[in-house]
């Protein structure tokens, strides 16, 4: 079992620089850190994408004389439930439809 465990760690550490792929203890530390970083990175990726979508929506809203927060508030008041990923795609690829959404949000705020 020890050999099997060591073999798995060494396989995961293949390609690391220096002793990190040759020495078991160092390899184990490097693999554990890599796994920790990859776990954290999967969570960070979700935040990064959401921030990007919000920035794109905000830029498109400001072209139509409305702030992002007012736009989202207006959509919520109307009961329009479109996620930020789809709103960002609409803002980039279909400006006319996005403009209509902005006008509806403005009307709901008035």
DSSP 43-104: HHHHHHHHHHHHHHHHHHHHHTT--HHHHHHHHHHHT----HHHHHHHHHH-HHHHHHHHHH
Answer whether residue 110 shows pLDDT above 90.
no
CATH class, domain 2-109, is mainly alpha
Question: How many CB atoms are located within 10 Å of the residue 61 CB?
Answer: 22
| pTM of the complete model | 0.80
- pLDDT of res. 14: 96
Q: What percent of the chain has pLDDT over 70?
A: 100
Distance CA 31, CA 75 (A): 46
Angle at 12 between CA 3 and CA 38, to 5 degrees: 135
- Do 24 and 4 touch, CB atoms closer than 8 A? no
Distance CA 34, CA 38 (A): 6
* pLDDT tens track for 36-89: 999 999 999 999 999 999 999 999 999 999 999 999 999 999 999 999 999 999
């Amino acid at each position: 079992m020890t050999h099997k465990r060591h073999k798995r760690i060494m396989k995961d550490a293949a390609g690391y620089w220096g002793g990190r792929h040759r020495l078991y203890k160092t390899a184990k530390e490097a693999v554990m850190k890599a796994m920790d970083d990859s776990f954290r990175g999967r969570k960070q990726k979700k935040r990064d994408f959401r921030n990007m979508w919000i920035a794109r929506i905000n830029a498109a809203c400001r072209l139509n004389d409305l702030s992002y927060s007012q736009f989202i508030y207006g959509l919520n008041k109307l009961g329009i439930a479109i996620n930020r990923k789809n709103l960002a795609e609409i803002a980039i690829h279909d400006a006319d439809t996005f403009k209509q959404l902005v006008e509806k949000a403005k009307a709901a705020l008035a």
